[in-house]
C-alpha cells in the first residue's frame, strides 16, 4: 500500500483530475479525493492523495508542500488514520 497524503488550502474550483495531474509529476497516483460539503456539493478546500509507494509520498511532501496549485499555496502532510466515530 502506498502513502496517503492530506492536502490542504486547495482552491475551491480545483478538480480531482487537476489535482491528480499535479501529483503525477512526482510519481504514480493511486487515488485522489477532494472532500465536499454534503449539502452544497462545494469543495471544503482539502482532500487526500494516495501515492503508489512511500518514496513517492515522501518526495511529494518534500517537493510540493507550499507550491502553488490553482493560484493558492497548498499544504501537504502525511494523512493520519481516520478515527472511529
In whole angstroms, what is the distance from residue 25 CA to residue 76 CA? 15
pLDDT digits (tens, 9 = 90+) for 4-49: 999 999 999 999 999 999 999 999 999 999 999 999 999 999 999 9
Provide the domain count of the chain. Answer: 1
Domain range for 60: 15-37+46-68
d(CA 33, CA 20): 9
Within 10 angstroms of residue 26's Cβ, the number of other Cβ atoms is 19
Could you tell me if residue 29 is inside a domain? yes
User: Quick check: helix, strand or coil at residue 9?
Assistant: coil
Residue 63 placed within a domain = yes
Question: Does pTM top 0.85 for this prediction?
Answer: yes
Helix (H, G, I), strand (E, B) or coil at 60: helix
Q: How far apart are CA 40 and CA 63, in angstroms?
A: 33
Residue 10, domain member (yes or no) = no
CATH number at residue 52: 3.30.70.330
pLDDT at site 83: 87
Amino acid at each position: 500500500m502506498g502513502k496517503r497524503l492530506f492536502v490542504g488550502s486547495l482552491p475551491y474550483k480545483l478538480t480531482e483530475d487537476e489535482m491528480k495531474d499535479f501529483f503525477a509529476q512526482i510519481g504514480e497516483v493511486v487515488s485522489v479525493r477532494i472532500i465536499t460539503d454534503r449539502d452544497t456539493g462545494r469543495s471544503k478546500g482539502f482532500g487526500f492523495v494516495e501515492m503508489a509507494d512511500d518514496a513517492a509520498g515522501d518526495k511529494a511532501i518534500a517537493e510540493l508542500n507550499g507550491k502553488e496549485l490553482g493560484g493558492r499555496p497548498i499544504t501537504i502532510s502525511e494523512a493520519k488514520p481516520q478515527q472511529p466515530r
